[in-house]
Amino acid sequence: MARLLPYAPASMKLRLLLVLLASHAAACHTPKTDPDSASQSTRSTVAQTSAPLPAQPFDVAAVDTYIAEQVVAQGFVGLSIAVVRDGAVILDKGYGHSQLAPDVPVKAETPFAIASLSKQFIAALVLILADEKKLSIEDKVAKYFPDLTRANDITLYDLMTHVSGYHDSYPMDFVDQEMKQPVAPDDAIARYAKRPLDFEPRTQWSYSNTGFAILGRVIEKVTGRALDVVLNERIFRPLGMAHSSYLPTPESPGLAHGYTSFALSPPEPAMPEARGWSFGQGGIYAPAGDIAKWDIALMSGKVLGPDAYKIFTTARRLVDGRPTTYGCGIGVIVNNRGETILRHRGSYSGFVSYSVLVPRTRSAVVAISNRDDKQTVGIVNEIVARLDKAHRPPELTIAGPSAQDVAKDMFAQIQSGKLDRSRFGADFNAFLTDAKLQAASVRLRPLGTPTAVAVTETYERGAMEVATVRFTFNSVKLEATMFRSTDGRVQQFLINKE
């Protein structure tokens, strides 16, 4: 089950990594054309060198080494990791320990609790059954559970996208007193879905495990089969997920054991949730390699038809038009370059998981840890960034100082109102008139010297290096977009408030 919001507002570091996922895509504006002969030679050079360049290699061995180092450096017990590039698994491996005392190493086939990564499987089953006309995602909950709160006002689609208003049955990061006792799924549903709603349906987004417990039972009612049987027959077996299972007993042989830590303690065995609490909302055990098979099938159209896949991967909108960043059982991000990224986190007593898919490049990274205080997000994002870099042309070689040093100098010159115009391209020299320069100097000079200057992103466009540079001052943060041609000349330097 996910106790961590799978789409929670990202830190700046995470946002920057997600931006990197598509930094090779064209920016949204089109460069103007100018017959000015002074800039024509630059354009000719750009035109001759801007043909698509081959993608850079992806160093699997280096990634393997990086992961092994992180396992030690961060104190993981064990990790299961799979990497997909261009629709094929290129790394599928276990690291560290499946259990401690006695020591059992993690193998590639060792199943871990994937926690709320399970939700996308449940949502996909609902959409498959909808395609088969066995239900509709617009069915009211009342059709299956008439006694639940506002059951006539809430749809299955609302449950899949977390806009129902049903109170979350597992909002905390530990196993509370209630979850130490086994429960029948219908009893757990009744305890939480017969309460007053947290908000009017479709007016807010709030993560609710309760909704997916209901969906799991709907699947059972429609098919007449237990959920584990349906998952095995419709997904695990057809996709070759040979090491995956649903709600195995914690004593099942071969499973990774979950660990936790409190206040910097050494890893200690985690208490699992009692039977019934993870029904529908979590419960799948699988190695990362099996989840990679699912990711490939999902991105290749082998799980859902085009219409169902669109519903699955489209972020839900609230009744007032505000977008969420969540589709059906999976987070959906469209970054500022138009790249769609599918992602989800999961957390279970003793386990955490994180998965990122980039459908356009048919890339994915899955990482599952059996220590619930050691997040896998940083490792996944680092590998995703390397995958993205491998899909981009090689970085350009730019003459002269680094982008950071040039940006510092350019900013200081504009603050002073005095420019060395020989360092600018002809077009930008024409754009930055003396009057515009002096006006900018008056506005920027009072800010003083920046406390920090950082290049947050670089990519290639039109055979030029594009660098995004953040300038931090005591009272404000500014962002400059700087274009440099290979001869080191600055072709653009635009400054805006971040």
Least confident of 261-265, 308-312, 320-324: 261-265
CA distance 155 to 142: 9
Q: Which two tokens stand for residue 65?
A: 């080494």
| Predicted local confidence at residue 288, as pLDDT | 98
Contact 206, 162 (CB under 8 A): yes
- Residue 457, helix vs strand vs coil: strand
| Predicted local confidence at residue 174, as pLDDT | 75
Model confidence at 164: pLDDT above 70: yes
Using alpha carbons, select from 444, 452, 482, 440 the residue that is nearest to residue 465: 482
Distances (CA, A) of 218 to 7, 122, 150, 193, 329: 25, 10, 17, 14, 15
Looking from the CA of 446 toward its CB, the CA atoms found within 13 Å total 6
Using alpha carbons, select from 327, 330, 316 the residue that is nearest to residue 201: 316
| Predicted local confidence at residue 6, as pLDDT | 38
Model confidence at 171: pLDDT above 90: no
Using alpha carbons, select from 207, 290, 216 the residue that is nearest to residue 247: 216
Give the residue carrying structure tokens 């350019």: 410
Share of the chain above pLDDT 70, in %: 87
Q: What DSSP state is assigned to residue 171? A: -
Model confidence at 16: pLDDT above 50: no
Q: pLDDT tens-digit profile of 77-113?
A: 999 999 999 999 999 999 999 999 899 999 999 999 9
**336 — pLDDT class (breaks 50, 70, 90):** low
Q: Is the backbone of residue 226 left (phi > 0), alpha (psi -120 to 50) or beta?
A: beta
**413 — pLDDT class (breaks 50, 70, 90):** very high
Q: 68: Cβ–Cβ under 8 A, 6 or more apart, which residues?
A: 95
Model confidence at 421: pLDDT above 60: yes
Mean pLDDT, residues 423-434 taken together: 95
Model confidence at 250: pLDDT above 80: no
| Predicted local confidence at residue 36, as pLDDT | 28
Please compute Rg for the chain using Cα positions.
26
Q: pLDDT tens-digit profile of 443-460?
A: 999 999 999 999 998 888
| Predicted local confidence at residue 443, as pLDDT | 95
| Predicted local confidence at residue 271, as pLDDT | 87
Q: pLDDT tens-digit profile of 456-489?
A: 988 888 889 999 999 999 989 999 999 999 999 9
| Predicted local confidence at residue 49, as pLDDT | 30
| Predicted local confidence at residue 20, as pLDDT | 33
CA distance 160 to 120: 9
- Residue 77, helix vs strand vs coil: coil
Using alpha carbons, select from 491, 159, 93, 157 the residue that is nearest to residue 311: 157
To the question of pTM greater than 0.85 for the whole model, the response is no
Q: Which domains does the chain have, with CATH numbers?
A: 60-391 (3.40.710.10), 396-497 (3.10.450.590)
| Predicted local confidence at residue 37, as pLDDT | 27
CA angle 159, 165, 169 (to 5 degrees): 80
Beta strands, E only, 349-451: 351-358, 363-369
Model confidence at 43: pLDDT above 70: no
Using alpha carbons, select from 248, 220, 254, 247 the residue that is nearest to residue 234: 220
| Predicted local confidence at residue 32, as pLDDT | 29
Contact 168, 209 (CB under 8 A): yes
Using alpha carbons, select from 231, 253, 235 the residue that is nearest to residue 109: 253
Share of the chain above pLDDT 90, in %: 76
Handedness of CA 31, 37, 41, 47 (dihedral sign): positive
**56 — pLDDT class (breaks 50, 70, 90):** low
